[in-house]
Chain A
Amino acid sequence: MATGSTTPGDTTANTYIVIPAFNEEASLPEVLSHLKSVVPQLHVVVVDDGSSDGTFEVAREAGVHALRLPFNLGIGGALRAGFRFAAEQGAERAVQFDADGQHDAHQIAALLSALDAGADLVIGSRFQGVGEYEVGRTRSAGMGLLRVLVRLLSGQRFSDTSSGFRAMSQRLLRHFAVEYPLEYMDSTETLITACRLGYDVREVPVEMHPRAAGQPSNRSFRLVYNYARLLVVLVTSARSSTTLPSIPVLPAAEGTGR
């Protein structure tokens, strides 16, 4: 397949695509079949975050790994479950991908090649000139504020601090499998944490589609609350995370030959 050839060199690397999904039965089948045709060599795990619709069944029927959380944990909770699964399966790298059809599977290759070039965390940025992605005014103001904040706290400049389209090395995956924030805006929080802990964080321009189905998961007042919460987290972590935390080795991953 022509699109398959754009996948970066190391196709033997055990790569898992983690897809958190909450009530996404409408858009999920297309996302999964798209992934299957574009990156057939990658493993896919869908984490059903306590959906009330047929998200889990859709994922199972598509023949991908499917985890069902007994109740809704929120995006961060679903992600950690997925990362943990991937780490336990012995994944050597992982990609975080949206279930709502915003992300384009063709761009995964670009993210993975940045990983191959030595990055630990690769952010797919919507705002680096590829394609056009529209956001509302409250959101864009918030994003601008976040950019400044992230720059101050991480010492690095990012054009898209809240992108949920990311790829990570095994090192970071194992960290995230144990320690990942539960609440919304996990992307920004972990971006800064990764920078702080000395991981190599890079940004790659990607094109994104508008949502295929579903609603953006926030409202203005919730956004304000989340900014405030994030601020607290970041300011308090500024003192505590000067040293690398010890990452426990996951028992199930030991048998995978390391």
Chain B
Amino acid sequence: MSTGAHLLLIAVTGGTILAILRLVRKQVLRAKYSLLWVTVGFGLLVIAAWPALLDLIADSLGVNYQPALFLMLAVAFLLIIAVHFSFELSRLESRVRTLAEELALLRNHIQSIETSGALSDAPVEEIS
């Protein structure tokens, strides 16, 4: 690998890590996800800085073509992440659904109290 490409790779992975850290600082990304991506970022940075490490691992595992090992690991990792996100999404959807129900039930309850006159003296109507 040429020195230019090498430096470019290091710069790109380094930039990615910085971008993730920025997201965490702005509190857009939850800490558990930032930890995950920062770890991945540093892993990539190590490989970018020292490609011989990948060759070493590939050799010890008996993989002849090193990029294949890298791609396989990358695909496996992304697949696991995608499944995990689907799982989290399903859980969130079911929670949102329950919350929506609860909200509808509570609103009905409050309105039935209001119409029955129990709260007619309180200034609750202003808020709604």
A73/B105 in contact, CB under 8 A: no
Interface residue? A71 (CB, 8 A): yes
Interface string of A196-224 (1 = CB under 8 A from B): 00000000000000000000000000000
Query: Roughly how many angstroms separate A102 CA and B108 CA in the complex, as a whole number?
Result: 27
Partner of A77, one of B100, B103, B105, B111: B100
Interface string of A71-85 (1 = CB under 8 A from B): 101000100110011
Binds B, one of A61-69, A127-135, A238-246: A61-69
Instruction: Kindly report which residue of chain A lies nearest to residue B106, judged by CB atoms.
Output: A67
Query: Roughly how many angstroms separate A88 CA and B108 CA in the complex, as a whole number?
Result: 13
CB distance from A80 to the nearest CB of B (A): 7
Partner of B100, one of A65, A73, A85: A73
CB distance from B111 to the nearest CB of A (A): 8
Residues of chain B within 8 A of A69, CB atoms compared: 100-101, 103-104
Interface residue? A47 (CB, 8 A): yes
B107/A80 in contact, CB under 8 A: no
CB distance from A157 to the nearest CB of B (A): 33
Interface residue? A70 (CB, 8 A): yes
Partner of B101, one of A60, A65, A66, A84: A84
CB distance from A56 to the nearest CB of B (A): 10
Residues of chain A within 8 A of B6, CB atoms compared: none
A71/B97 in contact, CB under 8 A: no
| Most A C-beta atoms less than 10 A away, residue of B93, B101, B103 | B101
B108/A73 in contact, CB under 8 A: no
Residues of chain A within 8 A of B105, CB atoms compared: 67, 81, 84-85, 88
Interface string of B64-108 (1 = CB under 8 A from A): 000000000000000000000000000001000100110111011
Interface residue? A232 (CB, 8 A): no
A interface vs B, CB < 8 Å? Answer: 47, 60, 65-71, 73, 77, 80-81, 84-85, 88, 182
Q: List 27 A-B contacts (CB under 8 A).
A: A47-B104, A66-B108, A67-B104, A67-B107, A67-B108, A68-B104, A68-B107, A68-B108, A69-B100, A69-B101, A69-B103, A70-B100, A70-B104, A71-B100, A73-B100, A77-B100, A77-B101, A80-B97, A80-B101, A81-B100, A81-B101, A84-B101, A84-B105, A85-B104, A85-B105, A85-B108, A182-B97
Closest 7 CB pairs of A and B: A67-B104, A81-B101, A69-B104, A69-B100, A67-B108, A70-B100, A81-B104
